[in-house]
Amino acid sequence: MPNKCRIYIGRLSRRTRIRDLEKDFSRYGRIRDLEVKHDYAFIEYSDPRDAEDAIYHMDNRVYDGSRIIVEYAGLRRDKRKGPKSDDVCYNCHQPGHWANECKEEDSRGKCYKCGEAGHIKRDCKASRSRSPRNSSSSSPKEKRKEESPYSDAPKSDEHHQEYEI
């Protein structure tokens, strides 16, 4: 449980000074302690309601050219406990866990698409399309010639005769 009187201020600009923080955050109540690190700070108020007011008014504001985070100290916004239902393991391609928790054999050096060693996904020869491949023709140009509706059409000279004088 975080201390309700102590707040964390993150993403501070390099040009932010201690006296500026003290001046601006003292508007919300009496400050007992102020600690500034490189790009973050901790402020402890005398009353938890003062800390709550500071969080409400200062969180996500632009301060000295940087959008700051203001929250209770010890609280993490993006803390994830585990994989989500749509997360898939990069090692075995199964949902429900991450690669660092995978019980399967390590797949480093193997293709993530087909699972074989010796190449990576970008160079994988596995089919990228869902349609079956037709192996009757060897090159794409030959396929186009076979499928062309004009290849079997009789050639006529009528077109040329119309324009002759």
CATH of the domain spanning 6-72, picked from 3.40.50.10190, 3.30.2000.10, 3.40.50.300, 3.30.70.330: 3.30.70.330
- Cα separations (Å) of 38 from 10, 17, 19, 42, 65? 10, 11, 15, 11, 16
Q: What is the mean pLDDT of the chain?
A: 76
Please check whether the two domains, 6-72 and 83-127, share a CATH topology: no
Class of the domain covering 83-127 = few secondary structures
pLDDT in tens, 4-32: 899 999 999 989 999 999 999 999 999 99
Domain segments of the chain as ranges: 6-72, 83-127
Bridge-based pairing state of the strands 66-67 and 40-45: unpaired
Residue 26: CB atoms within 10 Å: 15
pLDDT in tens, 47-82: 999 999 999 999 999 999 999 999 999 876 555 566
